[in-house]
Amino acid sequence: MKFMIIRKADPETEAGAMPTAQLVSDMMAYNKAMIDAGVMLDGMGLKPSASGGARIQFAGGKPTVVDGPFAETKELVAGFTLIQVASREEALEWVRRWPPIDGHGNVALELRQVYEAEDFGAEFTPEIRQQEALLRERAAARG
């Protein structure tokens, strides 16, 4: 099962405040523990919404783009970690190990399960599976 740990934005992340050396060290130790356990697939921090962020709304199939920054920080994402574990409980165990100094001890995280091919049933035909596999290979080759 794949899960995304979503680190919600806060006024500091939206202001572009860089993490302390201690937080960077703690996050690296956390990521290393997940990599050593074979559960971490990816993870990244996101720049503030003022740094190139945009919201795109489609109406009638036509996009409208609104550039950041966005006022409601509680609706924004500051980063994510993608993990693969055996159960939701195992995912929650990893979330509980998040470095406690992040956000000065007041960080908001969200855990969401990722859709996987088997979730789509018969609609995910062998042809579509093959096409998806080829697209993933191409994306992986680009780094």
Q: Which residues contact 70 (CB under 8 A, 6 or more apart)?
A: 49, 53, 55, 76
The pLDDT tens digits of the residues spanning 64-101 come to 999 999 988 888 999 999 999 999 999 999 999 999 99
Place of tokens 């302390």: 20
pLDDT at 84: 98
124-138 burial, b at 16+ Cβ within 10 Å, e below that, comes to eeeeeeeeeeeeeee
Quick check: helix, strand or coil at residue 131?
helix
Report d(CA 45, CA 37) in Å as an integer.
21
- The type of residue at 130 is Q
Low-confidence stretches of the chain (pLDDT beneath 50) = none
pLDDT at 49: 96
The pTM for the full model equals 0.89
